[in-house]
Copies of this chain bind each other. A is one copy, B any other.
């Protein structure tokens, strides 16, 4: 369990988290995002904190890599021949580009199942190019195009490996979700039976976990510390898979893909809906977890890079590269820069 040792910026007297990201236009601040972030080491010591890191938040898709641990540690991934691309897809929120969709389909086929075994629901690919290509081909999306299809194919594979009927695998009481819940409890040090639980967009349960516990879990995930060997091996294999196949974890033009392509193997990063980000920094033995209060992904990305810069892990990365991720221009429809999204005061500046 994490124990707090230092606070970089605390919630103010009225309980508001600090302003972490500013959106500028015409040289003035147009919009402001608030949030909280925690950096925690493998002993559970809080190394840095911004805002309230003890309030439980729904981690959503930011913990897909933790949800994928049972897939590897039970031998399911080996049994069904999942390669790095498949394992990275199991940890992904993808754009529904052809390689994502084909890989999800191949994972299901390896389990002897079809698209109908998924319970994630259908939406058009996030990728505009992929969506238009589908429309032009006269096709409609199916569940393989859902951004969570890789995680779900992994859950179905886990059920098969355990000899369980995959049907209902998204229910909180299904053995697949119970197995995952147990892993999350071990890594976060929490009794999740006492936690608030919501239903994610893809129908699986999401348990509310404080940022400091999430960051602690990612410190462990990044190092394999405090785990039995088979789980440490699974964590290492998932990290290597994502670093080898960053395209599979998100897609063209997406932050997770581009940031890991530029910085691997320094930092494992994963976004979640409603402004969540988690990261593991293996060489430093640190985990990071953050949430933008209002749920904005544009702010969560900036917060993540700003937090990572404070611990020096990006010092060896070219300034231009870091700047590309930490300060994003806002352009008008003719391509002229008219503003920027950037860290607010309180983070280390360039």
- A interface vs B, CB < 8 Å? 12-14, 16, 23, 25-28, 30-34, 56-58, 119-124, 128, 131-132, 135-136, 138, 146, 196-203, 206, 208, 274-275, 292-296, 299, 332-336, 338-339
> Are A28 and B332 CB-contacts (below 8 A) given A34-B34, A296-B294?
no
Q: In the complex, which residues of chain B have a beta carbon less than 8 angstroms from the beta carbon of A128?
A: 124, 131
Q: In the complex, which residues of chain B have a beta carbon less than 8 angstroms from the beta carbon of A199?
A: 25-26, 332, 336, 338
Q: In the complex, which residues of chain B have a beta carbon less than 8 angstroms from the beta carbon of A296?
A: 294-296
Give CA–CA (A34, B26) in the complex, Å.
23
> What is the oligomeric copy number?
2
Give CA–CA (A295, B30) in the complex, Å.
8
Q: In the complex, which residues of chain B have a beta carbon less than 8 angstroms from the beta carbon of A338?
A: 198-201
Give CA–CA (A136, B137) in the complex, Å.
8
Q: In the complex, which residues of chain B have a beta carbon less than 8 angstroms from the beta carbon of A146?
A: 333
From DSSP, what is the main secondary structure of chain A's interface residues? loop
**Contact sample, A vs B, 9 pairs, CB 8 Å cutoff:** A14-B14, A14-B16, A25-B199, A28-B56, A28-B196, A119-B334, A198-B339, A200-B338, A294-B299
Partner of A30, one of B28, B58, B132: B58
A200 touches B131 (CB 8 A): no
Known: A12-B12, A32-B294, A121-B335. 19 other contacts (CB 8 A): A13-B14, A23-B295, A26-B198, A26-B208, A30-B198, A31-B275, A33-B294, A119-B334, A124-B128, A135-B135, A135-B136, A146-B333, A198-B339, A199-B336, A199-B338, A200-B332, A201-B338, A294-B294, A294-B299
Q: In the complex, which residues of chain B have a beta carbon less than 8 angstroms from the beta carbon of A34?
A: 16, 34, 294
A32 touches B333 (CB 8 A): no
Partner of A31, one of B121, B138, B294: B294
Q: In the complex, which residues of chain B have a beta carbon less than 8 angstroms from the beta carbon of A138?
A: 136
> Are A31 and B339 CB-contacts (below 8 A) given A124-B128, A333-B120, A333-B203?
no
Give CA–CA (A198, B12) in the complex, Å.
31
What is the distance, in angstroms, from A78's C-beta to the closest C-beta of chain B? 30
